Amino acid sequence: MKLMRMLFGRHPGLAVAISLLSISSAAIGVGVIAFINLRLAQPGTALGPALVQFAGLLLALLASGVIAQIGMTSLGHRGVLILRNTLLKRILDTSLARLGTLGPSRIQASLSADVQMLSVAFVRLPVVIHGALLSVAASAYLAWLSLPLFLATLALIGSALLVAWRLLGITHREVASAREAADQLYDSYRAVLEGRKELRLNRHRAQKVYEEEFERSACADRRHQARADLFYSAYSNWISVMLLAAIGLSFFLANHFGWADNAVATTFAVTLLYLSAPLGLVVGAMPGIISGNVALAKLDSLELAPYQEGFALPQALPADWQSLTLEDVHYRYGERDGEAGFAVGPLNLTLQRGEVVFLIGGNGSGKSSMARLLCGLSVPDSGRILFDGQPLDAAQMPAYRQLFAAVFSDFHLFAQLLDGAGATADSTLVAQWLERLALGDKVKPVNGRLPGTAYSQGQRKRLALMLAALEQRPVLLLDEWAADQDPEYRQLFYVGLLEYLRSTGKTVFAITHDERYFHLADRLLKMDAGQLVELQGLSRARASLDAVAALSSAD
């Protein structure tokens, strides 16, 4: 079982020790039954010594059982921790292209629903292991007592298990179908949370989302969950009935066919009744185990990057570099169900150190794709990235990405204030940037962290710019940074901050539509239908004049 390999794989020594302890506990449990049969149930046994020995066996059974259960449960909780750590690390190591294909709803569903189901499975798996070990030990003892009676009982229980396995298979399929419906539910949750303003304005759309997306998924989830409960209930009651049938069969064969004497039949009955409690726990744990297997299959279907322990820090590229080049770079994304998707390239660009470069273009022209290719977040389908004229291979790309700090249009505002080496940023430098961004009286960092992230979008973007600047990387990439800024802060950026960054030798690559400030850029680039051109001379002047004219006519 894959769950078992995952649980035992990281700590094999500990797992073997705990398993041996569980085997010992199971053997002692069967030994107690054998002692009752061979000593306490036999006439003429010295009562005093027998009771002392019986009490010792019971204490040993209690101690071994408690220690084994605690050890197995502890191992299960350790497995939960390893699972969570491993999954998040794999997500961090997975390419942006793959994460984009999966989408945030599917990833969020796995981080919450699948991890929760696997957590339950890991905690309950030790119960199943203990029950299985005890059943094996008890079966060996019953076979030693009477092989014919054991084989007959085994045939009955075996045929019952075939039916039970069929019921569990149906339960598994229904749980898997419910999990698929859960993906759709998470899409609905995300639509309601992220589109709450639009849905508040448009109640017709809100009704459609509720009735045609949420309710449909919720009803499908309820239907499959109810069917899973139905077949699991049939499974659990079937197992209980078959245990009683096995007890009846042992007495019937012993008394009517003479396969064993009545004492042996009684021992069979006592042993089967003793097994009913742990087997009941096993039966109770099966829904969690089934859900865990479904969740594990769902996680495997994400096809995330393989787990690698730790964060390998790339060796830095030479600090005295002068140029970064994209040479005949092609990239295609969005291919799905036979559709061609959108292609970018060939892209040819050389970015000189210390330049301020603006990139313009319409929506869907490929500006953001171009930016991701430039900073190494997207892997080109063909073409090369050159560092000071030398092509970089795949092993050098992590070091290449360390040249860039960025504020993307869909940025996330982190609370930690860090420098480029991952240490807490210098408080003096933080204070200076807060003053430059006109946030000194609004934001008071505490212990190297922002006091919160509940700011306006414009303030959040200014803080994101500060976080990028604190990393002190040589290239700063800004994707529509000024789009959410008031006019005064927009002018502060272009006239003040941009010149400051230029004076410190920073290379700035900014995607922008602020035509009034085009003249501040050393170079002006344009993306159009995935193609990159540089605007120079009259074409550059015309871009600014056309934009100003458009603004004037709009006024």
For 199-222, write each residue's pLDDT tens digit. 776 777 777 777 777 878 888 888
Q: Which of 13-17, 101-105, 168-172, 424-428 has the lowest mean pLDDT?
A: 13-17
Q: What are the pLDDT digits (tens) for 337-363?
A: 444 567 887 889 898 998 999 988 887
Give the mean pLDDT of 367-376. 86
Q: Find where tokens 């569990």 sit.
A: 168
Give the mean pLDDT of 522-545. 78
Question: What percentage of the chain has pLDDT greater than the value 90?
Answer: 1
Q: Is the pLDDT of residue 554 over 60?
A: no
Q: How far out from the chain centre does Cα 547 lie?
A: 45
Give the mean pLDDT of 297-320. 80
Give the mean pLDDT of 271-291. 73
Residue 185 pLDDT level (bands cut at 50, 70, 90) = confident
Q: Which of 3-12, 396-405, 453-462 has the lowest mean pLDDT?
A: 3-12
Gap between the Cα atoms of 53 and 30, Å rounded: 15
Give the mean pLDDT of 432-450. 85
Which one has a higher pLDDT value, 230 or 72? Answer: 230
Q: Which of 115-124, 340-349, 474-483 has the lowest mean pLDDT?
A: 115-124
Gap between the Cα atoms of 354 and 509, Å rounded: 10
Q: Is the pLDDT of residue 555 over 50?
A: no
Q: What are phi and psi of 206, to 5 degrees?
A: -60, -40
b (16+ CB within 10 A) / e for 244-270: eebbebbbebbeeeebbeeebbbbbbe
Largest interatomic CA distance in the chain:
116
What is the C-alpha radius of gyration for the chain, rounded to an integer number of angstroms?
A: 34
Residues of the chain by 3-state class (helix, strand, coil), percent to 5: 65, 10, 20
pLDDT of residue 551: 40
pLDDT of residue 196: 72
Q: Is the pLDDT of residue 238 over 60?
A: yes
Residue 552 pLDDT level (bands cut at 50, 70, 90) = very low
- Find out whether 495 and 525 touch, Cβ atoms under 8 Å: no
Residue 2 pLDDT level (bands cut at 50, 70, 90) = low
Gap between the Cα atoms of 548 and 248, Å rounded: 94
Q: Is the pLDDT of residue 320 over 70?
A: yes
Q: Is the pLDDT of residue 198 over 70?
A: no
Q: Is the pLDDT of residue 266 over 70?
A: yes
Which one has a higher pLDDT value, 201 or 511? Answer: 511
CA distances from 443 to 448, 455, 459, 463, 496 (A): 12, 10, 10, 9, 20
- State the SS3 of 205-246: HHHHHHHHHHHHHHHHHHHHHHHHHHHHHHHHHHHHHHHHHH
- Find out whether 508 and 476 touch, Cβ atoms under 8 Å: yes
Q: Is the pLDDT of residue 31 over 50?
A: yes
Average pLDDT, the chain: 79
User: Could you tell me how many residues make up the chain?
Assistant: 555
pLDDT of residue 509: 92
